[in-house]
Homo-oligomer: A and B are copies of this chain.
Amino acid sequence: MRKAVADLHAELVRYNLVAWTAGNVSGRIPGEDLFVIKPSGVSYDELTPENMVVCDLDGNLVEGEHSPSSDTAAHAYVYRNMPDVGGVVHTHSTYASAWAARGEAIPCVLTAMADEFGGEIPIGPFALIGDDSIGQGIVETLKGHRSKAVLMRNHGVFSIGKDPKAAVKAAVMCEDVARTVHVARQLGEPLPIPQDDIDRLYDRYQNVYGQRSPR
C-alpha cells in the first residue's frame, strides 16, 4: 500500500493535476483502521514507499518521520464515515477548481461523464481547514451520490474510490470532463443527454462492463 500510494502521485503529476506540492493521495490499509498518506512538504519527485506516513482514522500519525499531509483530517473523516472507501485523492486541478470557484456543478453532457460519474459532479460547501468541516462537506455531498468526486467550493476536488487507484482515476476523469465541458460552454450551450440514457450508460459501465474487467 505504501508503494501503491507513493507511485500514484506520479499520475497526478503526469495529468497536470497539481502545482508544487498541492495535492495528495491516500489509501486505506485493508483490514486495519489505518491509512497511508503523502508526507507534508515533500516534493513529488522525492516520494518513496519509505517516506509515506501511516495514520489512524482520527488522523493521528502512527508511523513515519514526516508530518502527514495538511489535508489528513479530511481524508481521515472520509475513511471513518464511508467504510467502503479505500482511497481518497485531493487536488486543486485547474478546470475543476474553476467550477468550484463559481460554486457550479458540472452538468452531465458527455457519455464519459455518464459512464464514470453517473450524472453531474456536485458542489460541496465552503469549509475551512483546521477541523472536520472539510471532511463533513465531502461525506454529506458524496454519501448516496453516484459521483465519486466533489467540487469543494472555492477550494478544489476530493475524489474517492474502492482503492487509491480508482480514486486517482476519478480525479483524472473529473479534470478531463471539467475541461471539456468548460470548453464546450465557452461557445454555446452543450446539448443535454436525456436522464434515461445517462442511467443506461452508468448502469452498463458499472455492471455489465465492470463484470468483465476494469476498463
Chain A residues with a Cβ under 8 A of chain B: 15, 19-22, 40-41, 66-67, 70, 92, 94-95, 97-99, 101-104, 109-112, 126, 128-130, 153-156, 169, 172-173, 175-176, 179-191, 193, 197, 200-201, 204, 209, 212-215
Contact = CB atoms under 8 A, between A and B. Distances in A.
Contacts of A204: 129-130
A39 to B, nearest CB: 9
27 contacts: A15-B19, A19-B172, A19-B173, A20-B215, A22-B112, A41-B215, A66-B213, A92-B176, A92-B180, A94-B180, A95-B183, A97-B180, A97-B184, A98-B181, A98-B184, A98-B187, A101-B109, A101-B181, A101-B184, A102-B189, A103-B191, A104-B188, A111-B129, A112-B156, A126-B197, A154-B193, A182-B186
Contact of A188 (B41, B102, B110, B128): B102
A174 to B, nearest CB: 10
B66 A92 contact: no
A190 B109 contact: no
Contacts of A189: 102
Instruction: Choose among A15, A112, A173, A212 the residue with the greatest number of B CB atoms under 10 Å from its CB.
Output: A112
A212 B156 contact: no
B173 A20 contact: yes
Number of copies: 4
A192 to B, nearest CB: 9
Contact of A201 (B102, B129, B173): B129
Nearest to A187: B185
A190 B99 CA distance: 8
